[in-house]
Amino acid sequence: MEQFIKDGEVKARNQIVIRTEEEMIICPNDETLAAHGWQPYVPIVAPRTMSPFEAVQNIVTKQFNERKDITNDEALEYMVIIRKWESYIGTTLEAGTIVVHDDKPWRVRQAHLVQAQYPPSLDTASLYEVIDKEHTGDIDDPIPYTPPMEIFEGKYYTEGKVLYKCTRSSGTALSHNLSALVGTYVELV
Residue 1 has pLDDT above 80, yes or no: no
Strand order in the sheet with 39-40: 9-12, 3-6, 39-40
Contacts of 26 (CB under 8 A, 6+ apart): 17
Q: What is the pLDDT of residues 81-99, one digit of tens each?
A: 999 999 999 999 999 999 9
Name the nearest CA neighbour of 120 among 84, 71, 170, 172: 84
Distance CA 160, CA 158 (A): 6
Q: What structural domains does the chain harbor?
A: 3-40 (no CATH), 67-134 (2.10.10.90), 135-189 (2.10.10)
At 64 the pLDDT is 93
Phi, psi of 32 (to 5 degrees): -70, -40
Q: What is the pLDDT of residues 29-78, one digit of tens each?
A: 999 999 999 999 988 888 888 899 999 989 999 999 999 999 988 999 99
Q: What is the pLDDT of residues 7-35, one digit of tens each?
A: 999 999 999 999 988 899 988 999 999 99
Look at strands 162-166 and 186-188 and give their pairing. antiparallel
Distance CA 60, CA 174 (A): 34
At 162 the pLDDT is 96
Residue 61 Rama label (left phi>0; alpha psi -120 to 50; beta): alpha
Name the nearest CA neighbour of 17 among 28, 32, 8, 7: 28
